[in-house]
Amino acid sequence: MSAQYLSGQRRNVEAVVSKILVVIPTYNERLALPVTLSGLFENQPEVDVLVVDDGSPDGTGEWVDEQMQGDPRLHVLHRSEKSGLGMAYLAGFEWALERDYEIICEFDADGSHRPLDLGQLLEVAESGDADLVIGSRWVPGGAIVDWPRSRFLLSRGANLYVNTVMGLGVRDATAGYRAYSRRVLETLDLSDVQSQGYCFQIDMTYRTVEAGFAVAEVPIVFVERELGESKMSGSIISEAFTKVAGWGLARRTKQARELFGRIAVRKATDVNGSNGDRNGAPATHQ
């Protein structure tokens, strides 16, 4: 199913029934995480948060340990070493699926994702109109604040590349602000996902679309981080470039096969249909 653009309303917390987990991967986010967490709980006090920390040398994980004492909504997964955004999210998803969360969100610690936009994503996720809701920078109403031109071009270029090569019909396939319904994560073979950097987001989008789930994009305002350091690197960019080329080839080949298969069946139906008429027997084909 193709993606659609939806502009959600502020969520009516009174009507909430879903159990929601926001997964936040962290590596050296000791400066940014406190601001992010307080913003999140202020805007959506009923959500739970799981921080997946890869042994941050700056003490992010230990800080979460302390905060958890006074707040049952806050949880942490400590992992021994930095092994990429993708692996951190997969560990978080596994943790969520072992519990009774119905909507599982992705959220960056670095201040780029505004907590006040989460209501829109949850509104659409809870409506059941989509199984994956993406907070999109590249649909009408979406925006980016304070990004240097190089980052703007990288994100825009990456999404144009993904759309041209793979044709997923998603404007912001690299976005890391998301809400998945539980059944997406239960259905996909997560043990097969190997992507590390923001390629993980493209990988998950691809699998979600291919599995036939509905994807919606709601506009968000993305803000450049003010605290801490970016983990973007050349290897993260080249991982995405190479993998997208392979996925694009596989997807286009599959689409071509399906198209030729449909044409072949239609031709066989036409031939057998006229035979069937002549013979007075129903047409069959294998």
Ligand X SMILES: Nc1nc2c(ncn2[C@@H]2O[C@H](COP(=O)(O)OP(=O)(O)OP(=O)(O)O)[C@@H](O)[C@H]2O)c(=O)[nH]1
Footprint on this chain of Mg ion (rule: CB under 5 A): 108, 110, 112
Q: Does 173 bind ligand X (CB under 6 A)?
A: no
Say if CB 134 and CB 162 are below 8 A apart: no
H or E stretch covering 207: helix 199-210
Of 11 and 114, nearer to ligand X (C-beta) is: 114
The residue range among 97-105, 114-122, 227-235, 278-286 that interacts with ligand X, by the rule CB under 6 A, is: 227-235
165: CB partners within 8 A, 6+ apart: 244, 245, 247, 248
Count, residues near ligand X per rule CB under 6 A: 21
Q: Please select the residue that binds ligand X; options are 9, 230, 253, 274, rule is CB under 6 A.
A: 230
Residue 81 Cβ vs ligand X, minimum distance, rounded to whole Å: 9
Supply 284's token pair: 């069959």
Of 41 and 147, nearer to Mg ion (C-beta) is: 147
Q: Which residues pair with 32 in a beta bridge?
A: none
Q: Please select the residue that binds ligand X; options are 11, 21, 29, 188, rule is CB under 6 A.
A: 29
Instruction: Please report, as residue ranges, which positions from 39 to 58 form the binding site for ligand X (by CB under 6 A).
Output: 52-54
Kindly tell me the sign of the dihedral angle through the C-alpha atoms of 124, 39, 56, 71.
negative
Q: Does 136 bind ligand X (CB under 6 A)?
A: no
Helix orientation angle between 234-279 and 149-166, rounded to the nearest 10 degrees: 20
Q: Does 27 bind ligand X (CB under 6 A)?
A: yes
Q: How far apart are CA 117 and CA 92, in angstroms?
A: 21
Residue 49 Cβ vs ligand X, minimum distance, rounded to whole Å: 12
Of 16 and 237, nearer to ligand X (C-beta) is: 237
Q: Does 92 bind ligand X (CB under 6 A)?
A: no
146: CB partners within 8 A, 6+ apart: 223, 224
Say if CB 182 and CB 94 are below 8 A apart: no
Instruction: Please report, as residue ranges, which positions from 100 to 129 form the binding site for ligand X (by CB under 6 A).
Output: 108-110, 112
Residue 217 has phi, psi (to 5 degrees) of -120, 130
Q: Which residues pair with 78 in a beta bridge?
A: 53
Supply 167's token pair: 């044709």
Residues 183-202, one symbol each (x = binds ligand X by CB under 6 A, - = not), give ---------------x----
Site residues for ligand X per CB under 6 A: 25-27, 29, 52-54, 82-85, 88, 108-110, 112, 198, 225, 230-232
